[in-house]
């Protein structure tokens, strides 16, 4: 049994939708076990956004999803991350969680695990690609093996329609007011990344 963790942070539900779709796609496959986990909210962010209906509604929809722990990272053979853009980089929530993984880093516990990253931003050029690339840096420090979204498996990358996604990984455009939801192309790429990370994880199990 190969174990896949899909973990994400989502203020307004876009990454939640992409992560849920990614997790469901591998849940349907034989010989794979999947966990979907959210990255804990920070108290300051919760307070700052507590008057926003869109935030409160998105948090309510995620209330049944368990928070990720370091044990979940250790449990997994492969990890898919859902990381929305904050000024072209990862949110503090994700950085804070990754920064608690020093013990796993020092023991090499994450080395050799497959990993892929999904993202979202409000605008088309608001930093989806830079967020994925910047988020890869700590994952490489952990010794993880990066899995992207190649052109041959993702014809969406050559489409002229407006949607997210790059060879670095799936993404979605939330819109300047956050009201757009992930489109079919975004969800399709999310599914394929999760399947690819899961399959690479299965093949890498004995690699250091
Ligand atoms: C502090 C902050 C910084 C943000 N920075 C950017 C940005 O640089 N570019 C952009 O397009 N969107 C930016 N956004 C919008 C978020 O990326 C967007 O709300 C998020 O991708 C939606 O995903 P979610 O619904 O899963 O939270 C920012 C949002 C916040 C709260």
Atom of ligand 1 minimally distant from the CA of 10: 26
Nearest to 169 by CA among 83, 108, 92: 83
ipTM: 0.99
Cα gap 133→184, rounded to integer Å: 23
Nearest to 200 by CA among 55, 27, 4: 4
**Entry pTM:** 0.97
- 36 CA → ligand 1 middle, Å: 22
Of 49, 86, 178, 181, the residue with max ligand 1 atoms within 8 A of its CB, to mutate for a pocket test, comes to: 86
**Domains of the chain by range and CATH?**
2-204 (3.40.50.360)
Question: Which tens digits make up the pLDDT trace of 143-202?
Answer: 999 999 999 999 999 999 999 999 999 999 999 999 999 999 999 999 999 999 999 999
């Amino acid at each position: 049994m190969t174990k896949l963790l899909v973990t994400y942070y989502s203020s307004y539900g876009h990454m939640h939708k992409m992560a849920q779709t990614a997790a469901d796609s591998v849940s349907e496959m034989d010989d794979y076990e999947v966990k979907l986990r959210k990255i804990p909210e920070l108290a300051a962010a919760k307070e700052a956004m507590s008057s926003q209906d869109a935030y409160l509604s998105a948090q309510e929809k995620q209330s049944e999803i368990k928070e990720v722990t370091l044990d979940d990272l250790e449990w997994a053979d492969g990890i898919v991350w859902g990381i929305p853009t904050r000024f072209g980089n990862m949110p503090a929530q994700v950085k804070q969680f990754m920064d608690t993984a020093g013990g796993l880093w020092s023991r090499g516990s994450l080395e050799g695990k497959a990993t892929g990253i999904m993202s979202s931003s409000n605008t088309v050029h608001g930093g989806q690609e830079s967020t994925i690339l910047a988020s890869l840096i700590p994952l490489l420090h952990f010794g993880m093996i990066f899995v992207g979204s190649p052109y041959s498996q993702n014809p969406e990358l050559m489409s002229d329609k407006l949607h997210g996604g790059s060879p670095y990984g799936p993404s979605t455009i939330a819109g300047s007011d956050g009201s757009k939801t992930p489109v079919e192309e975004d969800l399709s790429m999310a599914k394929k990344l999760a399947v690819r990370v899961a399959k690479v994880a299965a093949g890498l199990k004995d690699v250091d």
